[in-house]
Every structure is written in structure tokens, then in C-alpha cells.
Structure 1
């Protein structure tokens, strides 16, 4: 972990990520309906990448 980087602890389920697939098979945020946002935390590319990978692992389960 880099200095000033948040911990790399991510949700373990789609529900915990607050995402779900809609009727068209699109991944959407459950509260906003928006598509997945890679740059969830500005200026934290490594953290965003790890979050993306964690979400991918959840989807593949």
C-alpha cells in the first residue's frame, strides 16, 4: 500500500459493492442506476484498479 492510499479491502459480493445487473444485462449501481465508474477515487489509479479487479472476481464467482 502506498502512502495516503486507502486500504485495499473491498466488498465480497455484488450487493456489498452496491451493483447489480439490470434486465438488459448491464452492470448498474443499485442506488443511482449509473454504470460502473472506474475512477471511483480521483488520483488513486492503483486503488481504482484493485477495486475493479475485486469486482471482476465477484462477478466471476
Structure 2
């Protein structure tokens, strides 16, 4: 699996977790798209990915 597809898979997992959290807190799914979420949180997601997977 390429690094990009690994990152895409990681982002998809984080988006699904985020949807669950938003629904639990606000009672509905996010009112924005996954693309908007990724654009707004790209640095956070990338840093999290690097910290979890690149330290090996």
C-alpha cells in the first residue's frame, strides 16, 4: 500500500470517528463534508498520522 493510500485510509477512519463524536454531542451528523473537514484539519491529521505511523 502506498503512503498516500495509507494516509487516505487513516483520514477515512478519523472522519468516521469524527462523525460519531459529532452525532453524539450534537444529535446529528456533521453539516459539512469530509473534504471540508480534511481541509480545515489537514495539519492536525497529518501530524497525528506521522506520530502514529512514522516513528517505526
Tell me which interval the TM-score lies in, with the shorter structure as reference length.
0.3 to 0.5
Please report the TM-score for the alignment, with normalisation by the length of structure 2.
0.32
Please report the TM-score for the alignment, with normalisation by the length of structure 1.
0.31
Higher fraction of helix: 2
Higher fraction of strand: 1
